[in-house]
């Protein structure tokens, strides 16, 4: 498993993931990005040893293939991020965070993101095809829709999605690209 390295949290808020890191990972170097000025400044105060940038992910200058791991609870919604590198992909914000972060992690690097169910449930397969060409789908966990009710006061169906970056882009026809129904719908 992962012992130490460069860890990216691309939408960190005040840094809950950094603050919850297991003891065995304390020798890692943490990098955070937060668009909200107040949350970002709180994160900088809480974790002064971390490299935290208060700006949108699209404005960061992190090198591609730099991070070993990317983790976090990415924003989601029915809007897009204006990033010239990714505009042609027509990605909604949560899918954009997957695409951009995949470019930022090294080959073999892992992404573990909490996101809305939209990435896995949307009828249009193009985002899953795009991600699958660049990363191996390690698995996903569907969270109960009341998971964040206590902390954020919301009821939303969320997934934790795990991806491992491929050494090169390869078009594949893996099962997770396609939607299907089982006996439960």
Q: What is the CATH number of the domain that holds 105?
A: 3.40.50.150
Question: If pLDDT is split at 50, 70 and 90, which confidence band does 24 have?
Answer: confident
Judge whether 184 lies within some domain: no
Better pLDDT: 97 or 152: 97
What is the pTM (predicted TM-score) of this model? 0.91
Instruction: Measure Cα distances from 107 to 59, 69, 90 in Å.
Output: 23, 10, 24
pLDDT in tens, 93-148: 999 999 999 999 999 999 999 999 989 999 999 999 999 999 999 999 999 887 76
φ, ψ for residue 69 (rounded to 5)?
Answer: -145, 145
For residue 125, the enclosing domain spans: 6-177
d(CA 124, CA 11): 25
Number of domains into which the chain is organized: 1
Judge whether 77 lies within some domain: yes
Judge whether 1 lies within some domain: no
Residue 83, helix vs strand vs coil: coil
Based on its alpha-carbon atoms, the radius of gyration of the chain, rounded to whole angstroms, reads 16
Take residue 17 and report the two structure tokens written for it.
């993931």
pLDDT in tens, 26-45: 899 999 999 999 999 999 99
pLDDT, residue 181, reads: 67
DSSP secondary structure, 23-38, as one string = GGGTTSEEEEEESSHH
Instruction: Choose among 156, 160, 164, 100: nearest CA to 127.
Output: 100
């Amino acid at each position: 498993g992962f012992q130490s390295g460069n860890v990216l949290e691309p939408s960190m808020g005040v840094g809950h993931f950094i603050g919850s890191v297991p003891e065995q990972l304390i020798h890692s170097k943490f990098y955070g990005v937060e668009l909200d000025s107040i949350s970002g400044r709180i994160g900088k105060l809480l974790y002064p040893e971390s490299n935290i940038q208060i700006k949108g992910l699209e404005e960061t200058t992190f090198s591609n293939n730099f991070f070993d791991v990317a983790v976090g609870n990415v924003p989601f919604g029915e809007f897009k991020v204006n990033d010239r590198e990714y505009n042609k992909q027509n990605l909604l914000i949560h899918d954009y965070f997957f695409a951009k972060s995949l470019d930022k992690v090294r080959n073999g690097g892992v992404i573990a993101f909490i996101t809305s169910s939209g990435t896995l449930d949307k009828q249009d397969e193009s985002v899953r095809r795009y991600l699958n060409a660049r990363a191996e789908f390690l698995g996903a966990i569907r969270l109960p829709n009341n998971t964040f009710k206590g902390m954020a006061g919301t009821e939303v169906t969320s997934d934790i999605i795990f991806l491992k970056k491929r050494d090169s882009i390869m078009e594949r026809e893996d099962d997770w690209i396609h939607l299907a129904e089982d006996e439960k719908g």
